[in-house]
Chain A
Amino acid sequence: MNINEHGASIRLEGCTKTFADGTLALHPLDLSVQAGETLVLLGPSGCGKTTTLRLIAGLEFPDEGGRILFDNEDVTHTPIEKRNVGMVFQSYALFPNMTVAENVGYGLKVQKLKAAEIKSRVGEMLEMMELGALAHRRIDQLSGGQRQRVALARAIITSPRVLLLDEPLTALDAILRDRLRADINSLLRRLGITAIYVTHDQDEAMALGDRIVVMDHGRVSQIGTPKEIYFAPQNDFVADFIGQINTFAGPVCNRQMQLPGGVLSDTALADGEGKVYCRPEDIEITDSAGAGLRGLVYQTQFIGDRNRVWVKGASHELVIVDSDGRSDFRIGQEVGLQIRPEQMIVLDRRAESA
């Protein structure tokens, strides 16, 4: 079944949003989304990601001066009813007074399609989403995962040009979330639809997004592919927010940084005060004898696929190192830390002060 030829490209120009009580939820935002792309809006609560999603949806409108375009069509003042988007809400917003089949077919009913056609299209969609057996169930008889799939089916059956998802997996338990994440991912790829996905969960963001927009307090912190965001954060906020990160800060001379536990060599920093970030999986624990940087094991935690070790005394704060799962360390044991230069993350000075 051909759900979609293609999705629409989306462009936001200079969009701000001020709420009735005066708070500025969104600073001037420029965003460009390619047709068929899955763009993830990621950030902590209150960062403006849901506001941005609602602007694209047409549930809210940008302040004077902002523009929103779908495929070069100005939809800034078009309300959601006329924007031909599909939306999956955090609470799913399924209609309790209708069955599963009626819920899924509602968008088609509003478009005044013939009953026979609605029936066949709904049937196909329910099969595709593996909901066939539930067609005549009421919503309150469904599990969380089933409701999620009904919400998705309902949103995509009208062949919208843009699909908007507002933290659709947040209400589910961890195992279900993992499974549905993979399902949604393959569904979005198959449909080739343009999707905007809002989440505060980084794993979700990196698994689903072609590109991720990291947001903080109404501003965009960084836009990039998951690998760019993870391996090359452009500022403190992104470095800190994504995954675990270790900070090494101190005076640098001849590319060597002075730290409480010794010396960090081969940093690509200029002389003076400097800061280097490093991911836990990129630090190697070595024998303390002859190591440039030393510390004491403070705590260990076996997580299954790795052994997480906290090392005290090497840097100004605890250093978190992810070691092989089969490794073993005693608390209080003296260890050495080795970081290869290519795995040190150095922020661009100019980006930092932006």
Chain B
Amino acid sequence: MKRSLSYYLQLGFTLLICAFMVVPVLMSVAAGLTNNYFQGLSSGLTLRWIEEVLALYSDTLWLTLQLALATLVVNLIVGVPAAYYLASSSSRWARIFEELIVLPVAIPGLAIALALIIAYGGVHGLRTSWLFILIGHVLYTLPFMVRAVLAVLHSINFRTLEEGAASLGAGFFRRFIDVVVPNCKGGIISGALMTLTLSVGEFNLTWMLHTPLTKTLPVGLADAYASMRLEISSAYTLIFLVMLLPLMIGVQWSGSRLRISRV
């Protein structure tokens, strides 16, 4: 197929826009790998900044992972049954609640953090514990899990499937585990990946709630930019990307799997 001039112009324009957005990221990555940013690539490539970051911030790294996984566990235990309940209920309140559940996403993270501090900040031991940040992360990511599972539930006729299982003698929990959950797998995976990605990258809320002992990667990054060499902050960004990119690709992949299997 012969391509026209306008096709190439459009392609060129699109590539230019992509470059505009990608080049800063590449430059940042490059900065984290050079000996001296101000001298540029001529000063040589090195891994010592990455080593230094890992040495300084290994605690932060582990806490970030711990928080992400804990948020995921809470979301699974709370979110999946919640989505099931909303999908089964035919009352008007359920429909209203389905819309309201996205609210925490719209409200600025700082505002939610402030609200949490006011409400639970006085609870003994909670303020300085990582659990406090967990609460914030769950509030922020739960809507995504619920909505992902809810979308799948609305699209399959799970009530008839449940009746089918019930006619064969399966009680409520049996049905839930054998029939409802497996058929929501796509939504659960999508919600799970969303939860992990959002939790790892969350800044606004975590920054307000953190203490020197309960920092996550994004918060540590802010610290690094504020107080340390550019190379260290850039190396930090690199590590961040390495953690996040597989998760993002995973979300994309599971999303396209869902679309294929639906056809």
Contacts and interface: CB of A to CB of B under 8 A. Distances in A.
Interface of A: 57, 59, 79-82, 84-87, 89, 91, 93-97, 106-107, 110-111, 154-155, 158
Contacts of B179: 95, 97
A85 B182 CA distance: 25
Contacts of A94: 164
A298 B104 CA distance: 72
A154 B168 contact: yes
Nearest to A90: B160
Interface of B: 156-157, 160-161, 163-171, 174, 178-179, 182-183, 185
A86 B170 CA distance: 12
A109 to B, nearest CB: 8
A106 B167 CA distance: 11
Contacts of B168: 106-107, 110, 154, 158
Given A95-B182, A107-B168, 19 more contacts: A57-B167, A80-B166, A81-B169, A82-B169, A87-B163, A89-B160, A89-B163, A93-B160, A93-B164, A94-B164, A95-B161, A95-B164, A95-B165, A97-B179, A97-B182, A106-B165, A107-B169, A154-B168, A158-B169
A169 to B, nearest CB: 17
Q: Main SS of the interface on chain B? A: helix
A81 B170 contact: yes
A314 B161 CA distance: 55
A79 B179 CA distance: 19
B167 A110 contact: no
Q: Considering the complex of A and B, which 7 residue pairs feature the smallest CB-CB distances, nearest first?
A: A93-B164, A107-B168, A97-B182, A87-B167, A110-B169, A93-B160, A110-B170
A91 B169 contact: no
A96 B163 contact: no
Contacts of B166: 59, 79-81
Contacts of B157: 91
Nearest to A107: B168
Contacts, number: 57
A189 to B, nearest CB: 23
A96 B163 CA distance: 14
Given A91-B157, A95-B179, A155 B165 contact: no
29 contacts: A80-B163, A80-B166, A80-B167, A81-B169, A81-B170, A81-B171, A82-B169, A84-B169, A87-B163, A87-B164, A89-B163, A89-B164, A91-B157, A93-B160, A94-B164, A95-B178, A95-B179, A95-B182, A96-B156, A96-B183, A97-B179, A97-B182, A97-B183, A106-B165, A106-B170, A110-B169, A110-B174, A154-B168, A158-B168
Contacts of A89: 160, 163-164
Contacts of A82: 169
B164 A59 contact: no
A107 B179 CA distance: 13
Nearest to B157: A91
A107 B164 CA distance: 10
Given A97-B179, A97-B183, A85 B165 contact: no
A85 B167 contact: yes
A111 B185 CA distance: 25
A82 B164 CA distance: 13
A111 B174 CA distance: 11
A204 to B, nearest CB: 22
B157 to A, nearest CB: 7
B183 A106 contact: no
A106 B178 contact: yes
A116 to B, nearest CB: 20
Contacts of A158: 168-169
Contacts of A95: 161, 164-165, 178-179, 182-183
A57 B168 CA distance: 11
Interface centre among A86, A106, A158, by most chain B C-beta atoms within 10 angstroms, is A106
A106 B182 CA distance: 14
A155 B166 CA distance: 11
Contacts of A110: 168-170, 174
A57 B169 CA distance: 12
A95 B157 CA distance: 11
A91 B160 contact: yes
Contacts of A57: 167
B22 to A, nearest CB: 40
